[in-house]
Amino acid sequence: MGHSRFVYVIIIHSTREKIWEALTKPEFTRQYWAGTTQKSDWKKGASWGAYTPDGRLWDTGEILESDFPHRLVLTWRNEHFPDMKAEGFTKLTYVLEDDPLGIKLTLTHEVDVANSKLIEAVSGGWPSVLSSLKTFLETGTPLPNSEKWPEGL
């Protein structure tokens, strides 16, 4: 069995609390994360779902760890694409730490599948989402390329 992993680090001028809220609350995610929202009560063991702007369930999972505002771990399976769904549950970890330049957000998205299609797909998406999150938190406005859900999906 192989492993696929995507890691991204970004430093944001904000607080850990504000970054956590921006990552989890629908009123924030829909502004910078392609109009999407997530539903969960964000406690360990709680179910988690990500929804398209028109309300379709896109990804599902469960909260594995929730240590506000330091560390959030959840399982994540795509529900839309059969080949990605067949890969099973991936694991997403957010870690928020102090850094001399601001708050350091480290995102790790991984699965015990070699050459995972889901990890390949999110590797293209995360830099855009997190770049927009940073711009949103630092300037109040997201990046224009990340506001809309892709047409036809």
Residue 109 beta carbon to other proteins: minimum distance, rounded to whole angstroms: 14
Q: Which residues of 34-70 are buried (b: 16+ CB within 10 A; e: fewer)?
A: bbbbbebebeeeeebebbbeeeeebbbbbbbebeebe
Residue 15 in the binding site for other proteins (CB under 8 A):
yes
* Closer residue to other proteins in complex, CB, 13/56: 13
Question: How wide is the angle at C-alpha 7 spanned by C-alphas 30 and 92, nearest 5°?
Answer: 55
Residue 67 binds to other proteins (criterion: CB under 8 A): no
Q: How far apart, in whole angstroms, are the C-alpha atoms of residue 106 and residue 32?
A: 18
β-partners of residue 102 are: 99
Task: Please tell me whether residue 132 binds other proteins under the rule CB under 8 A.
Answer: yes
Interface with other proteins (CB under 8 A), residue from 2, 45, 55, 100 = 100
| Max CA separation in the chain (angstroms) | 44
Q: Does 13 bind other proteins (CB under 8 A)?
A: yes
Our finding on whether 10 is near other proteins (CB under 8 A) is yes
102 makes contact with other proteins (CB under 8 A) = yes
Residue 138 interacting with other proteins (CB under 8 A): yes
Pair of tokens at residue 19 = 């970054």
Reading the block at residue 87, the tokens are: 């890969």
Q: Does residue 109 touch other proteins according to CB under 8 A?
A: no
Is-contact 130 20, C-beta < 8 A?
A: no
Is there binding between residue 145 and other proteins (CB under 8 A)? yes
Q: Which of 36, 42, 128, 149 binds other proteins (CB under 8 A)?
A: 128
Query: Cβ closer to other proteins: 11 or 46?
Result: 11
| CA R_g for the chain | 15
Applying CB under 8 A, which residues contact other proteins? 8-13, 15, 99-102, 127-128, 131-132, 134-135, 138-139, 143-146
